[in-house]
Chains A and B, each alone.
Chain A
């Protein structure tokens, strides 16, 4: 139980720290671009609406009411409230990523200090940001995209395949596993991400390019800090583990 508690402490503190840094970086880089894109999204809103009304009659009479209901779903008010919810969502995501990162590292023998943590963090960036982003580039509001479900499945599969591949490359020494890792790295991109039927959008390309750059830059810094902080804190929160592991060894040797 002490292992579980120590991992949770590590992930929560590292997640809060890196989530806070991520929020600060985002408020200067990605969030202003999202707000700009929303202006285009709302200006080009007629196109989006006519599209959804084309779909609605086919889906049945109840669909327009549902659509209307969705429009009225609660959303944080722009400004401070929206910032607070973004900060909370960032911190929660960071804690979640931290929990997975520490659990993965423990299963593979531990971080062994901040440097190992940094390596895990960069692996996290490659698996969770870069690899899925090759097929599904970071989107701005108002950009066309395929159905959400298939995109989420492709995103998760790509992240898992890339993470497993990086683990095989770093922790095995046989050529067969290296070959398997290369296959896992490449396969999701050969299969290809679900694409929208049309790429037409009111959002300028230049805005999107700046957004993609900002997302990768902020996520790289975020993952590097998350990993390094997990590496440092994991070494601090070891109380009780050696003792219980020692008693387990004693029990077995008896």
Chain B
């Protein structure tokens, strides 16, 4: 009984691993692009956001 419930708990969390890591990676990619990209054009477009969110800038 105990092992069965433990197995279901593990199976639910493993089914979550892929969507959760996908969303987290997507979020990190977006923040990385807006806040950390070294491309001059991206820097200029997001300039005030980078300063106002205290990202390292210039």
Q: Which residues of A contact B (CB under 8 A)?
A: 1, 3-4, 7-8, 11, 22, 26, 30-31, 34, 70, 73-76, 82, 85-86, 88-90, 92-93, 95-104, 106-107, 129, 132-133, 136-141, 145, 148, 151-152, 155-156, 215, 218-219, 245, 248-249, 252-253
Closest beta carbon of chain B to A138's beta carbon, Å: 4
Q: Which residues of B contact A (CB under 8 A)?
A: 4, 7-8, 11-12, 15-16, 19-24, 26-31, 33-36, 38, 40-41, 44-58
Q: How far is the CA of A62 from the CA of B26 in the complex (A)?
A: 37
The answer to whether A99 and B24 touch across the interface, beta carbons within 8 angstroms, is yes
Q: How far is the CA of A252 from the CA of B16 in the complex (A)?
A: 15
The dominant DSSP class at the B interface is helix
**B residues less than 8 Å from A136 (CB atoms):** 54, 56
Q: How far is the CA of A9 from the CA of B29 in the complex (A)?
A: 17
Please name the residue on chain A nearest to B57 by beta carbon.
Answer: A139
The answer to whether A129 and B53 touch across the interface, beta carbons within 8 angstroms, is yes
Closest beta carbon of chain B to A1's beta carbon, Å: 7
8 other contacts beyond A74-B40, A82-B47, A100-B24, with CB at 8 A cut-off? Answer: A7-B19, A88-B45, A92-B34, A97-B31, A100-B23, A129-B53, A133-B54, A139-B51
The answer to whether B49 and A93 touch across the interface, beta carbons within 8 angstroms, is yes
Q: How far is the CA of A98 from the CA of B26 in the complex (A)?
A: 10
- CB-contact partner of B23 in A31, A89, A103, A249, under 8 A: A103
The answer to whether B27 and A98 touch across the interface, beta carbons within 8 angstroms, is yes
Ordered by A's residue number, 14 sampled pairs between the chains whose C-beta atoms are within 8 Å are A4-B22, A7-B20, A73-B40, A75-B45, A85-B45, A89-B48, A89-B49, A93-B34, A98-B27, A100-B23, A102-B23, A148-B38, A156-B36, A249-B11
Please name the residue on chain B nearest to A193 by beta carbon.
Answer: B56
Closest beta carbon of chain A to B50's beta carbon, Å: 8
The answer to whether A252 and B7 touch across the interface, beta carbons within 8 angstroms, is yes
The answer to whether B36 and A152 touch across the interface, beta carbons within 8 angstroms, is yes
The dominant DSSP class at the A interface is helix
Closest 7 CB pairs of A and B: A99-B27, A96-B30, A75-B44, A89-B46, A89-B49, A96-B31, A73-B40
Closest beta carbon of chain A to B27's beta carbon, Å: 3
- CB-contact partner of B49 in A90, A101, A129, A132, under 8 A: A90
The answer to whether B21 and A138 touch across the interface, beta carbons within 8 angstroms, is no
Please name the residue on chain B nearest to A90 by beta carbon.
Answer: B49
Closest beta carbon of chain A to B30's beta carbon, Å: 3
The answer to whether B26 and A99 touch across the interface, beta carbons within 8 angstroms, is yes
**B residues less than 8 Å from A70 (CB atoms):** 40
Q: Which of B15, B33, B48 has the most CB of A within 10 A?
A: B48
- CB-contact partner of B30 in A3, A85, A92, A104, under 8 A: A92
